[in-house]
Amino acid sequence: MNALRRVWEHFEEGFIAFLLAAMTLITFVYVILNNFYTLFYWLGDAFGGNEFLLAIGDAILDMAQAMTWSNALTKALFGWLIFFGLAYGVRTAGHIGVDALVKLAPRGVQRVIGVIACSACLGYAGLIAVGSFDWVRTLFTAGIGAEDLGHYGIQQWHIGMIVPFGYAMVFIRFLEILVRILRNEQTGLGLADEAADALKINEHEEPKQ
């Protein structure tokens, strides 16, 4: 049970790390292939037109030209990264918010405002999740292949499914916040206090001057 809890508490981080690693690897391989073949062409010419080295250069060039899918796949992975980042930001209170006036209110009032704000966020996330699910269902029915990825069996709905999934995760994370507010474990959405952050930065900078 504790292992499952840890997995759930770090669910977004795991996928974000995987997506970043995949994007970096794909881009790295593509850049290397697009520049590495010139080395073998140069060596082939340097050794009097060595056919073996020139053949290696041709093979690498063919692999680079075959990776037309790399740009489309990287963009798709980046899109998935954005929506996992939304849920991660909600869970870790990473989204920036100005709630200095709210913090001036009594604790009970802060709790009420937190419930109202959280309910509004739940409504928005739920609305987008349902609407985007209908959109993905339309793409599924159409069966349209994804840009430069269709011949690999990847369709547009495969990529677009992250939208309802991502907002469903956002909904769940806001629901967890609402439960904590109702349990008096927190009073608001946990958004960052820009004023407090600025004061902390100023305190760290003053001793250096």
pLDDT tens digits along 28-46: 998 888 888 888 888 888 8
Which of the residues in the chain have pLDDT under 50?
194-195, 199
Q: What is the mean pLDDT of the chain?
A: 84
The bridge status of strand 96-97 relative to strand 192-193 is: parallel
Closest by alpha carbon to 80, among 1, 153, 178, 12? 12
pLDDT tens digits along 154-191: 999 999 999 999 999 999 999 998 998 888 888 777 65
C-alpha radius of gyration, the chain, whole number? 25
pLDDT for res 41: 85
pLDDT for res 166: 94
Reduced to 3 states (helix: H, G, I; strand: E, B; else coil), residue 94 is coil
Kindly state the DSSP code that residue 191 receives in the 8-state scheme. Answer: -
Helices 51-66, 11-46: crossing angle, 10 deg rounding: 150
Beta-bridge partners for 193: 97
Kindly state the DSSP code that residue 67 receives in the 8-state scheme. Answer: T
Residue 98 gets the label, from left (phi > 0), alpha (psi -120 to 50) or beta, of: beta
Q: Burial letters for 133-144: b for 16+ Cβ neighbours within 10 Å, e otherwise?
A: beebeebeeeee
Secondary element (H or E) of residue 70: helix 69-91
C-alpha pair distances (Å), 16 with each of 72, 102, 199 = 18, 32, 31
CA–CA separation, 103 vs 121, rounded Å? 19
pLDDT for res 135: 95
Domain ranges of the chain: 1-66, 95-190
CA–CA separation, 93 vs 116, rounded Å? 17
pLDDT for res 195: 47
